[in-house]
Structure 1
């Protein structure tokens, strides 16, 4: 029976109760709402709650209604075989209602409704909702600042959603939107830009009469319009690299956006102390505009190459990197974007200039870097070597340098060698005072290490090691840790150049470095040892001595978690190098098996009792946290393949407990890690007898959960959910073929029927037939169903 206006009080009460902290009140309300979800009129009732004027102050209830509304639209807007969906009359009513309620004051509710409109537009535009953009554009003509902000939010979300559709007809539709809407959107962007600059000018004078909220809403609206402009140019026009046709909006937009950045920067320092909210906006705006320029350059390189676009952008970026103002120098996110622009756009003379600037300015450790290293070596190592290049300035400079060198190795090879010689001459190995000369030598060593694969054509490693690097290690002054760390880095990077006549002294140097007290030096040494093991073609003759070394190093690194992490990496390479002979090191490996589990199983030639005995520990780990679920799934898969029937006879119940613990309690990403091992399990257990051994011990709820996953909706536009449903269907299909009676019995269980009803599955449908329907719909489209997880 359809819900109507008379049901509104009930719906409101249930929504309010679903927010209760008392589980005895909340749980029944959630269950009742779940039952209402599939009934016609439910979304209309929710919309009435969201838009009711007398409930404006009830923000929490309205927000909850908007969340249920969004979820229901995802599940029921598109008609499916396994659900009745919404009637066309209700859809028409909801589309009209959504466009009448544009001035939503609460940001979270407005954002949720914008997402709803975008999801509906993905399905209905242009056939069922052809007037969507014309209505929104018309509303903008007379909208106040809040309403216009909300409309831009809707436009951005909708265009973003439509741009992801990949059918040719859909891309043609988006191109039509871009051609019709671009000029209008760009005009609004320019108007807002003028208003913002006027507001900033007044704000900088501390004018008390300025309406801060209005100007900030204008800023947010302008930022949304910037994103819309990017979407229209990037997705609304075929790449000029393919079409060989100039994209005119590129020449119109890019110079103006560059000028906008230049207009914002003068306010950067003045807003930092007095107007933090607008200072944050300026950082966000400048970074976003640079990202838009990069995106346009990547999509339309030929149009971006016009002299009115390319050279002003390159000059601006290069000037900000080579001669930055103090304020800009502290604006790391901004500088990082410059690196993205410059990586492939510079002429030769500027490449040389930039290379010098990167090494001499951005590679050099600052006084604060050195202080942090001394005070907290682990934090320093993480900041310098473990973060993504796009998150910190020095790693970003190093990434830009490597790209430059790859593209201009013949030009930059002599330049880097020249800087290296200059630095070594200015700071001999006997000098241990932390000076600008020593820090430049550290930077030059790093520059030489990062591009070893090309620099070896210009520099003899043997001469460099004997004449300088080995001598550096004879100076044991504590300050020399700076240089010793880079020497260890060089030895690891230049491993391919370590020949027979230098191998022994290099190994001795590494052992000496490993005795140092500084954590960062020892971590770098272990990285180098790991690289050496990975490159050695025959490690077996040295296996016993390496076992002794690793055992001692592990014991001595007790309490040093960072060192032990690097040791585990080296040990993994050691196990890989031993291959089928890896059992010879089990006496050393087994005490630390929990960390090396995955690598050990992957390279063991056969199952041994010690390995079987460790499996229950995995359950204890997963009961505490799913943080390492992907690795755990790989370990379990190794046990299944390696142990076969022996493993199942001993641990079938434990394995079933693990699967029941994980399936249904992790998100789609977690399921994508676990379902492939279930598929492997069913394939390995390729006889009915062995399958029965496992299924008898497996809780019915684990298989039930796979059935519920297959028969629940909401995956049409979510690749992750589609992948999960596809894999689940493939697993159930295998079970159906191998043990039809078991699956037939399971699908008739009352508990399964109850769970499916809660998920909105119709009572009258035959479960087995629906499973086959899903299998034909999803799996048959995949050539290899498990490949989406690789």
Structure 2
């Protein structure tokens, strides 16, 4: 490959990679992938990038390809690493030219340099920063801009390095460069502000504003990560101090930019926002360095948020930043005096707390509360217009971190924060506002309606704090219920807010007697004639009402069919996937709570879900909701309807196929669906067997899903033990064996349950099938270093193997003896010693009895190792007999673990098995056939003793009895004849 000039073949392939035609795009991408590891390829790409005569789309693809190559092949120890000589020439070329004319390519080129810098700076690229700083001072404005852009991305990349040595280097670098960047920022900022007030050419304003913003971004990273303690840096503190004045000047300047184009106005707003980001960042990372700026920040934000003069200068994103700044100051843990406060900084905490207290005086807090409710909580005309044009978009809940980016969530969270901090001051304010609005307002008085909406919003947000202050039952009956009856269009605002309000309070303070009235209200509000936004809010309110701890199914029975059908109509009418998901989640919860009673109403949903699945092909979160609904449907129906099978299994197939992109979203829910389908299936089918082919890659995919996979294997096995063992069993056990060394204790416990289930479901076939993993289990006991619970499970598996097949037990012992270079008897002796030692730590009675049965079984194997330990073996069996034997009223001794007539197997299943699924019925059959619950230990021991006598003769038998101590011998005679 010619590396001295743009290779035309490479240019052609890059053109293909820029194509929108898949037939051209795919071969081009494959060719670029093939060239990635060829010497000289990245030099050729660099030559394409720097040749301004080549089409910009081609150069764009070239720079993206080069970025990807740096990620994969730049490090020295990377496979197919780029040669040092080639890397050197590329770095020299990158720093030799800052005249890229296309801004998008310039940005990617700067990112490319930053990626290399993160790896090579400072040892492999010492001239990086000197070159950049020299270019910044160049008289050419384009070179200035591009070098600043590059400096910004390089600083941003290096600031992310967290090793101690890297941080020390960055501290030193910051101390050397900070004043230089601060001076540049001051100059550029003063210049663009002067240009604005002098009504200069918009291109000139834009140029200087872009440079001011780049230097500000650099300063932010340096201030955040370049100082161990920023307050010890005079330069950093001087920068922080001027932020407030600069922000005030630029906010005033912004007014002058109206009419000069959207780009420059947005650029100015970005500059202002970034000033607030500096404050938020230092507060978050260096709270004790921020203490001197608590009061200026609060005064600054109060002026612009809560005064009539300041509010004229604000814009939405600035409002959000100011709300978040106040909130973060209030919530900052380092500013709160608690018993957990760091004693090292206690005096600073006290000072910060005092500053907050001085600012948040009662009158000011009350004014802020009234302003938030009376101004910011009021629905705007834009919001009302959105309600009219797109009620679903208007109603979509913003959750998670939306308070960081959206105005209304940020307003709500600030209000909640202030109210929580100063509730003694604000509770009377809220009660006063409730009293003022506690009258029915005219449908024509929109201002009164909006004010009432704002007050109700506030009461909903601080419902928990108002628990003792508001008689909600009385308010609901006398006012809120009456307001819901007013159907005027303007009153939809109040109906929606009242609906949300009663949803919040239903789980906090609403008497049981009023629940039927609540359910009737919700059904009325879900009516298709009602406003869509009100209906969606009613759906959410229903979710609150039925997800409450005190929810009474009997009270809701008369309303549930109507509610379900109205929700179904709403689901079909909704257009947005997010809305469908919200409604579907409510229906799913309703099915979960009322499923068995709702069975007759579920057919319509069963018919609709396949259509919804197809409709949501591009919306994975809605598909997750569909899968969750299917899980609850199957449980509610008590089985898998035949008409669902053609729909269910392809969904599970898609969601559990880790080669499919959809599995990233659907995997967890589809594993749950798969498990549910198996649990409620009556018999194994060919499609279910085929579906299991997804299990092999799944078990290797992630440890997070492995537990679920092992449980699915277990449930799958019990559906048809013989078929599964003969077709898939050995591979399951081989996979488990390979995973075992990497599992933590919790994983091993689940895995051992699976292995033991093989042995319980079909003892002889199960032992043969489990053979691949048995040596590892035997060896774990032989070594004797396992966790007690896991040791108990290992011993249970060994015991079941012994009871199932002496031949397989012996085969495992032989193979391990050979592995350890010992005879069979020597290995068995050591294994028995560990068994007899660890058995005393086994606490579960069913496990102890299983081990006791296995030890009794060993008595007639005529093994020297067993005879040598005859006394200990009998002692362990005796202790087990003592543990599991109970004395009846008639004095007879009985085995407490034996299933008697009329007794349920659930008595021996931990109390968590109610046999409501077909799988639980299959578990019941396991218990009914388990020797632990069908074989009386003392009777089995007696038969083994008689057989032993006939095998060894009375002389040898008497000798064995002498190895048992007198006390134990006397106790044994109470159970059996010796």
Aligned runs of 1:499-510 on 2, under 5 Å?
A: 499-510=511-522
- 1:723 aligns with none
Query: Mean Cα displacement is larger for which, 151-160 or 681-690?
Result: 681-690
- The counterpart of 1:112, out of the listed 97, 108, 113, is 108
Q: Deviations over 1:158-215 (max 9, x none)?
A: 222222222222222222222222111111111111221222123x2xx5xx4x4344
Distance 1:131 1:60 in 2: 31
Aligned to 1:486: 497
Say which of 157, 172, 175 aligns to 2:171.
175
Residues 378 and 450, structure 2, Cα contact 8 Å, conserved in 1? yes
The alpha carbon displacement at 1:310 in A equals 3.2
Cross-structure match for 1:618: 651
Aligned twin of 1:574: 590
Does the alignment pair 1:228 with 2:227?
no
- 2:10 is paired with a residue whose SS is helix
Is the deviation greater in 547-556 or in 255-264? 547-556
The aligned counterpart of 1:704 is: none
- Does the CA contact (< 8 Å) of 1:648 and 1:694 recur in 2? no
Decide whether the 8 Å contact of 2:3 with 2:40 is kept in 1.
yes
2:306 paired with 1:322: yes
Q: Counterparts of 1:238-637 in structure 2 under 5 Å? A: 238=228, 246=232, 248-306=234-292, 309-324=293-308, 328=312, 331-343=315-327, 344=330, 346-348=359-361, 349-367=363-381, 369-370=383-384, 372-374=386-388, 376-382=390-396, 388-424=402-438, 428-429=439-440, 431-495=442-506, 496-515=508-527, 517-537=530-550, 539-541=552-554, 545=558, 547-557=560-570, 559-561=572-574, 565-577=581-593, 587=603, 590-593=606-609, 596-601=626-631, 608-610=640-642, 611-616=644-649, 618=651, 632-637=666-671
Contact 2:220 2:278 in 1 (8 A): yes
Task: Pick closer, same or farther for the CA change 1:475–1:6 going to 2, 3 Å.
Answer: closer
- Contact 1:612–1:647 (CA under 8 A) maintained in structure 2: no
TM-score, normalised relative to structure 1: 0.75
Pair 1:65 & 2:69 matched: no
Q: Structure 2 vs 1, CA of residues 510 and 201 (structure 1 numbering), >3 Å: closer, same or farther?
A: same
The one of 176, 179, 184 equivalent to 2:180 is: 184
Contact kept in structure 1, 2:178 and 2:222, CA below 8 Å: yes
Find out whether 1:196 has 2:198 as its counterpart: no
CA distance, structure 1, for counterparts of residue 246 and residue 701 of structure 2: 45
Query: Distance between the aligned counterparts of 2:653 and 2:661, measured in 1?
Result: 13
Structure 1 counterpart SS, 2:206: helix
Q: Secondary structure of 2:547's match?
A: helix
Provide the C-alpha distance between the structure 2 equivalents of 1:407 and 1:455, rounded to a whole number of angstroms. 14
Per the alignment, residue 213 of structure 1 pairs with 203
SS in 2 for 1:5: coil
Partner SS state of residue 502, structure 1: helix
**In the TM superposition, what is the alpha-carbon distance from 1:32 to its structure 2 partner?**
3.4
Match of 2:156 in 1: 160
CA offsets per residue over residues 5-45 of structure 1, 9 Å max, x none? 38834434443454456666655544433322201221122
Contact 1:369-1:380 within 8 A present in 2 as well: yes
Where does residue 74 of structure 1 map in the other structure?
71
Secondary structure in 2 aligned to 1:165?
coil
**What is the CA-CA distance between 1:452 and the residue it aligns to?**
0.1
Larger RCO (CA under 8 A, 6+ residues apart) = 1
Q: Provide the rounded CA distance (Å) in 2 between the counterparts of 1:164 and 1:370.
A: 44
Could you tell me how far 1:277 is from its partner in structure 2?
2.7
User: Which structure is larger by alpha-carbon Rg, 1 or 2?
Assistant: 2
- Whole-angstrom distance in 1 between the partners of 2:388 and 2:55: 54
Asked if 2 retains the 8 angstrom alpha-carbon contact of 1:630 and 1:674, the reply is no
- Indicate yes or no: 2:681 matched with 1:650: no
- The alpha-carbon deviation at position 499 of structure 1 amounts to 1.9
Q: TM-score, normalised by structure 2?
A: 0.62
Q: CA deviation at 1:442?
A: 2.0
Closer/same/farther in 2, CA of residues 293 and 184 from structure 1, 3 Å limit: same
Which secondary structure state, in structure 1, belongs to the residue aligned with residue 101 of structure 2?
A: coil
CA gap of 1:49–1:238, structure 2 versus 1, over 3 A, is same
Provide closer, same or farther for how the CA distance between residues 481 and 299 of structure 1 changes in structure 2, counting only shifts above 3 A. Answer: same
Contact 1:575 1:603 in 2 (8 A): yes
Q: Once superposed, what is the RMSD of the aligned Cα atoms?
A: 4.1
Distance 1:691 1:145 in 2: 75
Looking at structure 1, the residues matched to 713 and 695 of structure 2 have their Cα atoms a distance apart, in angstroms, of: 17
1:675-754 aligned within 5 A: 680-681=708-709, 684-685=712-713
Provide the residue aligned with 1:50 in structure 2. 49
- Work out whether 1:5 is the aligned partner of 2:8: no
Provide the secondary structure at the position in 2 that maps to 1:452.
coil
Asked if 2 retains the 8 angstrom alpha-carbon contact of 1:492 and 1:527, the reply is yes
- Within the candidate set 114, 117, 131, 1:121 is matched to 117
**Using the alignment, how far apart are the partners of 2:661 and 2:587 within structure 1?**
22
1:582–1:537 distance in 2 versus 1, CA, 3 Å: farther
Q: 2:111·2:153 contact (CA, 8 Å) conserved in 1?
A: yes
Instruction: Report SS of the residue matched to 1:444.
Output: helix
Shift of 1:551: 3.6
Instruction: Note if contact 1:339-1:400 (Cα within 8 Å) is conserved in structure 2.
Output: yes
Judged with a 3 Å threshold, the aligned counterparts in structure 2 of structure 1 residues 222 and 371 are, in CA distance, closer, same or farther, namely closer
Contact 1:156 1:225 in 2 (8 A): yes
Which has the higher mean CA deviation after the structures are superposed, 270-279 or 487-496? 270-279
Larger displacement relative to structure 2 (446-455 or 276-285):
276-285
Cα distance in 2 for partners of 1:691, 1:41 equals 56
Count of residues paired in the alignment: 673
CA shift digits 1:494-553 (9 cap, x unpaired)? 122012343344334434444462222222222111101111446554575455234421
In structure 2, what is the Cα distance between the partners aligned to 1:617 and 1:434? Answer: 55
Distance 2:80 2:240 in 1: 49
Bigger Cα displacement from structure 2, 150-159 vs 374-383: 374-383
How many angstroms does 1:368 deviate by? 5.1
User: What is the CA-CA distance between 1:353 and the residue it aligns to?
Assistant: 1.3
State the distance in 2 between where 1:480 and 1:269 align: 37
Q: 1:598 to 1:155 in 2, by over 3 A?
A: same
Superimposed CA distance per residue, residues 53-85 of structure 1 (whole angstroms, 9 cap, x where no aligned partner): xx435333333322222222111111346x231
Partner of 1:707: none
Counterpart of 1:305 in 2: which secondary structure?
A: helix
- Partners of 1:383 and 1:330 in 2: CA distance: 25
1:417 CA drift (Å)? 1.0
| SS in structure 1 of the partner of residue 109 of structure 2 | helix
Answer yes or no: is 1:641 the counterpart of 2:675: yes
1:282-323 alpha-carbon deviations (Å, 9 max, x no partner): 2222122222222222222233221xx333332221121123
SS at match of 1:459: coil
**Other-structure match for 1:144:** 140
Q: CA-to-partner distance for each residue in 1:546-604, whole Å, 9 max, x for gaps?
A: 55234421454365217765432222222444699997975565345455431442695
CA–CA separation in structure 1 for the residues paired with 2:4 and 2:397: 59
